[in-house]
Chain A
Amino acid sequence: MLRIAVCDDDATQLKKTKELLEEYFRCCSVTESQIETFRSGCELLAQTEVCSGFDLYILDILMPEVSGIETGRRLRALGGGGEIIYLTVSNDFAADSYDVRAFFYLLKPVEREKLFQVLDGAIEKLKRRRNSAVVVNTAEGPRRILLEQIRYVERSGRCMRYYCTNGTVDSQTIRSPFREMASPLLADRRFCLCGASFVLNFQHVTGVNGRDALLDNGQTVTLPRTAAADFKMAWGNYWLEESEQL
């Protein structure tokens, strides 16, 4: 089930956008959807805080009080992910939209085909990120962990410890080298092997200062001295490639 939020201060535009979305999900997509509409950025933000966010946000930019760009910034600050598509009459804010890592930026009046194409891309990206997972053999049995929830993995004694956004998961004793056990993670470009017993998720690294990698939960991970500079470069490269999505 895909949860979508549409936000526009203009009731006519809001209705039109909702209709286009309903048409899209009726005929072009197999995914089920739930579309909610909001007349202001404040309303949307309030609801996001309550329901822990939406999968897709379609925002107008020029709105009174809180603009679409500012709404996007505050949504990012709340966390929870989700793709943002901007619809607007004015391209004066082209420079600003990149700040919030929006998926796309469409000028009104929106062409149906163009919107549907962008929706295809956004949903594909969401599915890829949300469904990518790894199965870990734990003492309680196999457990499926979404890749986007893993902050980092390290070798802990003879098992692998997965530090996730919702807790820590320890695997059973591993019989192969750490790098081999981590290969399903390393196949995803978000993950990077650092030294011999650390794998970090670039998406959860907010900064690298010398040998310390700062994570989005405030935790610091000390990197091996010889690998720190290369890790920082790889982290930067990842985010530079992510910006290709725009």
Chain B
Amino acid sequence: MTHTQKRIITNNIVMVLSTLSAIIGIGFLFWILGVLVINGVDALSWTIFSEEGAPPGYEDSGLKHALIGQFMIVGVATLFGVPLGVLAGTYLSEYGQKSKLAETIRDISDIMMSAPSIVIGAFVYAIVVAPMGHFSGWAGSVALTIIMLPIILRTTDDMLQLVPSTLREAAFALGAPKYKVITQVVYRGAKAGILTGILLGVARVAGETAPLLFTSFNDNFLNTDMMEPMASLTVTMYNYATSPYEDWQKLGWAAAFILSMFILTLNILGRLIIMKRKGK
């Protein structure tokens, strides 16, 4: 066998192997997606949205409590996380720039983005739940805010840096003070990017379960008082899926499906906004 033939054969073997691993990897992932869609669609019904949790065996049980709880916990976290993240990102891009302080904040935020979220849960337990004496929706929101902050901060920073400095200079030349330049020129230029960052940040925290386990805890019934323990889709999903009751497991799949669709929609929306902007 000549050297060339050997190389061609090795090449073919590697190509087959890598295509095969791609097929295996992608196959597994589509298996999960398929399972999710089949079980989820099967479990969906109107009572899911209109009824609260019920003991196993009841006909009329739903996820209304978890949907509303999820919405409130994530909503409050967004309300805090977005302005804080955008402000901090503004500092990095517009004031700190390449300074040592700004670079350190960037590095620490990057690390925080990958840090284990269950540890954030333990931290919030110590500073919110323990002093209050009980679990609460607020504690859950605080945990999610902490997780969201570095994500919004980094995307805002990146997106503001993409705004051409000539725009800023033009505004300065007209005599505008810096805060006006930032709020009226830079923010406008980076609007789409910041929005995408927010969507991805919300999508990320909406799927968090671990930090909610011992902050907002859970409640099998509807509760809209943030001072009390609150249901979330993710914790409800965990509790129902690990229960031995078939109807609860089914509700768990419904919760999984609704949550995944929500998260995928936000992700796709974020991509579309960015793409549209690039297209211009």
A and B co-occur in one complex: no
A residues with CB within 8 A of B: none
